[in-house]
Amino acid sequence: MAFGVDAEYVPKPVRTNIFGKCWEGPYCRDSIRPHCPIFQARQACWRVKRGCFCEEDIVTHAAAKIQGLVLDMAPDPKFNFANPHNPSIGEITGTEYVRQRPVELTMAEKKERCRNCVIYNEHEREKYRFLLPVTILGGIALCLLFSPLLRAGIDGLFVLIERGASLVSFQGGGLKLSRPPAPVAWAMVAAITLMVVSKMLQALEWACFRAKI
């Protein structure tokens, strides 16, 4: 992560709402929140794709109304993207002030910026903790719902093996396999359920920690 990686973590009450806002998380400062334009707009920073750790003008706007406070947001100039909302963008060349053209970030660049921000990654961790038991229970319930089909599919698998063996057999009659007893068949269904739940958990981890959807 590039944005807010050194920010202080302030524990907050655990939220069960995965759609919580950025100012409800552990990286928002109570003294800054009332003056933050993101909070005033009541939209999470990842919704508008701009926030206090990646755009200096947001921090400047909030700090202008607070006295004697040292802010740790947007600390490094190389992380402060030129922002069309900031009218003071420019540089001094010799004795003249040259106004720079504001840089418009593409939506892909804004999303990538969010993926590298500690606030959005904390949001993804909370989402994962909320969806983890839902995924496990949902996967088990799904397999239980279709367990009769899975049980029938095991018998169908043996039929396919027998048919395949008969096609390549040099002897008449082909291959006859004995069907597994019911306890063994249901144990195979349980193993399939375990694999399905495992793959669902891998998909959840990919969505939250790799794709960061």
Banded model confidence at residue 148, pLDDT cuts 50, 70, 90: confident
Residue 162 lies in a domain: yes
pLDDT score recorded for residue 168: 63
Q: State the pLDDT at residue 2.
A: 81
Residue 19 inside a domain? The answer is no
Is residue 135 situated within a structural domain? yes
Answer yes or no: is pLDDT of 46 > 60. Answer: yes
Backbone angles phi, psi at 98, to 5 degrees: -105, 120
Q: What is the mean pLDDT of the chain?
A: 79
pLDDT digits (tens, 9 = 90+) for 89-111: 444 444 444 445 556 788 998 99
Distance in angstroms (rounded) separating the CA atoms of residues 102 and 22: 26
Q: What is the number of helices (H) and of strands (E) in the chain?
A: 7, 2
Write down the pLDDT at residue 182. 79
- Banded model confidence at residue 175, pLDDT cuts 50, 70, 90: low
Whole domain around residue 172: which residue ranges?
129-210
Confirm whether 156 is domain-assigned: yes
Number of domains in the chain: 1
